[in-house]
């Protein structure tokens, strides 16, 4: 019995021992399963973020582009104290960071540390190479955590932190390009358009698809790309190819800067448009900013005044009124109009001209810019004809140019246009408002056989594969019969040959246009401030361009007259077109 009991005890002891070993084994497996996620992984997942598309000039210069940003991450516990200076020296040399600042940050923190968030792609590539060299040099050593019992070795890790929008040409083509603001998306810095082309084409410029790369990693956390690694295709935003020539744009901007200073003007705007297509090859302002570094003093320059500044256009409206009269058959260009020696009393109102002609032919009312003459001629239009005619020319409507926040302007109602006073003042550009681009689009009708086209800046989009997609614009519409458009064109040519626009004349080219000098209204009354403008065209045998110039509040004495300010600028724009081969005068 004693032997049997002893045998049972031995069997029970052995069973207990085996059971205890099995429990310890299961417990160990469970423990390691729980802490597995804290161990270094053999595989590594890297997100490669797609970038915003570029904005490119017609002469193939990038005027807006995106640069990737990277951050440098280390764990200070892995740096061998004896080789700290070696790490600091090499990292600072490769990154361009300040050596003293880097060392101070490392010594002040124990654990994971981001040394920089704004490493450019070039430096990031060099730093990734450095990371592998640092391991070979023994700069990093394994750290053992006594609390968790975990050991780990992490080196210098270079990962994406986002993108930065860059404007290589600085102020050129602003404010048309616009600018962006930063947004944080899943811990990554992205940008979104706020103004200009950046805003209007946000859906095209926006990046489409990021890339995820999964694969085995080497000791420096770099993915080993082989047939076992997995990656998806990255799709960047579309590039926007514009119609604007960067060279011509810069030449015109430099010229506007000179005139702004000389005329002591608030702002000067100039634009050149292909008359047949509506393609804008230059849209320049004297008020510009650097989108990379917008300062408080730049705030007044952020808007695109060509579409966001509505003003009373003045005498540039006279040809449009005259065209409506011709189309309604209510005037003959050779009719005589009495202009009363330049002073005409109408009720309590006195209308004046800058000349003392007693009589003018109807077309010479335009040529010599007679307020008295057009005031009387406009009375022949009924309110509906005038109102609908102005709307047909595009007033009170957006031009649909590819820029955001475009204003519509306003004209008197049909009811008000029944008043002879409103009808008369509107005929020479008072009592209504329009934008620079609306007037340019309207004048283009005279140089395009009576047909209206939509002005545009983006010529086509290009996807990351190189496939091109042309932009879509409104269909052109007939506003004037071709005979009337040609007649108006000849009257505007005569205005340059013999009238108020004579300073725009250049031999060998067909140049026509109309001056406009308008008082500015403030606080319910007109003050001694002016806007002066000249809108017209310049053609050779092959090319037709519609050109506009607006000088806002010139303060130089006597130069508020358009003939003294806007016209000379117009002529210089045409000279630039000749110099760059857009126009070829006949000899």
Domain boundaries of the chain, sorted by first residue = 69-167
* Beta strand pairing call for 434-435 and 310-311: antiparallel
Say if residues 247 and 63 touch (Cβ distance below 8 Å): no
Nearest residue to 347 via CA among 369, 375, 370, 367 = 375
Please state, in angstroms and rounded to a whole number, the distance separating the CA atoms of residues 196 and 204: 14
When the candidates are 3.30.1390.10, 1.10.1420.10, 3.40.50.1360, 1.20.210.10, the CATH number that belongs to 69-167 is 3.30.1390.10
The pair of structure tokens assigned to 567 is 């016209």
Tokens of 361: 């032919």
pLDDT for position 36: 44
Q: What is the pLDDT of residue 545?
A: 98
Contacts for 225 with CB less than 8 Å, ≥ 6 apart: 213, 215, 231
Token output for 496: 């340059």
- pLDDT (0 to 100) of residue 558: 77
Alpha-carbon span 73 to 127, nearest angstrom: 11
Q: What is the pLDDT of residue 70?
A: 86
| Residue 296 per-residue DSSP state | G
Nearest of 508, 404, 390, 368 to residue 445 by alpha carbon: 390
**pLDDT at residue number 39:** 42
587 residues of the chain, pLDDT tens digit each: 556 567 767 777 777 777 887 788 787 766 655 554 444 445 555 666 788 999 999 999 999 999 888 888 888 999 989 999 999 999 898 888 888 999 999 999 888 888 888 888 888 888 888 988 888 888 898 888 877 777 888 888 888 888 889 999 999 999 999 999 988 877 778 899 999 999 999 999 998 776 666 666 655 556 556 666 656 677 789 999 999 999 999 999 999 999 999 999 999 999 999 999 999 999 999 999 999 999 999 999 999 999 999 999 999 999 999 999 999 999 999 999 999 999 998 888 899 998 999 999 999 999 999 999 999 999 999 999 999 999 999 999 999 999 999 999 999 999 999 999 999 999 999 999 999 999 999 999 999 999 999 999 999 999 988 999 999 989 999 999 999 999 999 999 999 999 999 999 999 999 999 999 999 988 878 888 999 999 999 999 999 999 999 999 999 987 889 999 999 999 999 999 999 999 999 98
**Inter-residue contact 455 to 441 (CB < 8 Å):** yes
Beta carbons within 8 Å of 409's beta carbon, 6+ residues apart: 310, 395, 396, 432, 433, 434, 435, 438
pLDDT of residue 542: 95
- pTM for the full predicted model: 0.84
pLDDT for the residue 42 = 55
Pair type for strands 230-231 and 211-216: antiparallel
Residue 128 and residue 319: Cα distance in Å, rounded?
Answer: 67
DSSP 217: B
DSSP symbols for 110-136: -SEEEEEEEE-HHHHHHHHHHHHHHHH
Which of 315, 357, 365 is CA-nearest to residue 340?
A: 357
Helix (H) or strand (E) segment spanning residue 330: none
Per-residue pLDDT, 45: 58
383-392 vs 420-427: helix crossing angle, rounded to 10 = 30
Measured distance CA(195)–CA(289) in Å, rounded: 13
pLDDT of residue 150: 79
Rg of the chain over CA atoms, in angstroms?
Answer: 36
CA 395 to mean position of chain CA atoms: 24
Q: What is the distance between the alpha carbons of residues 581 and 576, in angstroms, rounded to a whole number?
A: 9
Instruction: Give backbone dihedrals phi and psi of 463, rounded to 5 degrees, phi first.
Output: -85, 170
CA 368/CA 322 separation, integer angstroms: 13
Segments of 483-539 assigned E as strands: 510-522, 525-539
Beta-bridge partners for 478: 451
CB atoms within 10 A of CB 317: 29
Place of tokens 């200073």: 261
Distance CA 2, CA 150 (A): 51
Cβ pair 394, 400 in contact under 8 A: no
List, in order, residues 6 or more apart from 348 with CB less than 8 Å away.
Answer: none
DSSP 571: H
Looking at residue 39, the DSSP 8-state letter turns out to be S
If we measure between CA atoms, which residue out of 59, 280, 250 comes closest to residue 171?
250
pLDDT of the residue at 37:
44
Separation between Cα atoms, residue 563 and residue 42, nearest integer Å: 77
DSSP 42: S
Q: In the prediction, which pLDDT does 327 show?
A: 97
Looking at residue 68, its pLDDT comes to 86
Are 499 and 367 in contact, with CB atoms under 8 Å apart? yes
Question: Is the bond leading into 175 cis (omega within 30 degrees of zero)?
Answer: yes
Phi/psi of residue 533, nearest 5 degrees: -150, 160
- Report residue 532: phi and psi, to 5°: -120, 145
């Amino acid at each position: 019995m004693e032997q049997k009991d002893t045998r049972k005890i031995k069997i029970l002891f052995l069973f207990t021992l085996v059971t205890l070993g099995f429990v310890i084994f299961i417990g160990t497996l469970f423990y390691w399963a729980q802490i597995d996620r804290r161990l270094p992984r053999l595989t590594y997942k890297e997100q490669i973020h797609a970038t915003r598309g570029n904005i490119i000039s017609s002469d193939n210069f990038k005027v807006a582009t995106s640069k990737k940003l990277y951050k440098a991450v280390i764990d200070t516990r892995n740096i061998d104290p004896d080789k700290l200076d070696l790490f600091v020296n090499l990292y600072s040399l490769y990154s361009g960071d300040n050596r003293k600042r880097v060392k101070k940050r490392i010594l002040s923190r124990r654990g994971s540390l981001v040394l920089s968030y704004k490493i450019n792609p070039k430096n990031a590539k060099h730093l990734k190479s450095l990371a592998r060299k640092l391991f070979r040099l023994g700069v990093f050593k394994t750290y053992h955590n006594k609390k968790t019992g975990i050991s780990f070795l992490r080196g210098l890790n270079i990962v994406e932190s986002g993108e930065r929008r860059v404007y290589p040409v600085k102020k050129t083509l602003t404010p048309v390009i616009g600018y962006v603001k930063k947004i944080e998306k899943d811990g990554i810095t992205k940008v979104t358009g706020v103004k200009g082309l950046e805003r209007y084409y946000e859906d095209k410029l926006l990046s489409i698809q990021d890339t995820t790369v999964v694969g085995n990693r080497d000791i420096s956390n770099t993915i080993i790309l082989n047939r076992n690694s997995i990656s998806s295709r990255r799709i960047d935003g579309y590039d926007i190819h514009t119609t604007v020539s960067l060279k011509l744009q810069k030449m015109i901007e430099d010229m506007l800067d000179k005139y702004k200073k000389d005329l002591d003007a608030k702002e000067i705007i100039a634009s050149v448009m292909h008359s047949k297509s509506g393609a804008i090859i230059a849209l320049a302002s004297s008020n510009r900013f650097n989108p990379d570094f917008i300062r408080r003093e730049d705030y007044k320059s952020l808007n695109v005044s060509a579409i966001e500044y509505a003003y009373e256009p003045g005498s540039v409206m006279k040809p449009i009124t005259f065209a409506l009269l011709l189309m309604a058959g209510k005037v003959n260009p050779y009719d005589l109009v009495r202009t009363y020696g330049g002073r005409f009393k109408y009720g309590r109102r006195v209308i004046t001209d800058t000349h003392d002609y007693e009589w003018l032919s109807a077309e010479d009312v335009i040529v010599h810019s007679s307020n008295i003459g057009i005031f009387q001629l406009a009375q022949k239009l009924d309110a509906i004809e005038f109102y609908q005619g102005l709307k047909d020319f595009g007033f009170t409507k957006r031009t649909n140019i590819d820029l955001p926040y475009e204003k519509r302007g306003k004209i008197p109602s049909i009811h008000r246009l029944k008043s002879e006073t409103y009808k008369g003042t509107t005929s020479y550009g008072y009592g209504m408002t329009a934008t620079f681009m609306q007037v340019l689009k309207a004048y283009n009708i005279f140089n395009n056989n009576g047909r209206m086209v939509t002005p545009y800046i983006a010529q086509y989009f290009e996807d990351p594969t190189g496939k091109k997609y042309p932009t879509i614009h409104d269909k052109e519409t007939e506003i004037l019969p071709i005979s009337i458009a040609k007649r108006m064109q000849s009257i505007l040519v005569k205005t340059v040959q013999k009238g108020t626009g004579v300073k725009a004349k250049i031999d060998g080219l067909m140049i026509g246009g109309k001056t406009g000098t308008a008082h500015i209204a403030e606080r319910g009354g007109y003050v001694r401030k002016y806007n002066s403008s000249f809108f017209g065209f310049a053609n050779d045998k092959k090319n037709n361009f519609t050109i506009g110039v607006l000088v806002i509040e010139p303060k130089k004495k006597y130069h508020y007259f358009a003939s003294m300010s806007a016209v000379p600028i117009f002529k210089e724009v045409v000279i630039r077109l000749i110099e760059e081969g857009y126009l070829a005068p006949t000899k």
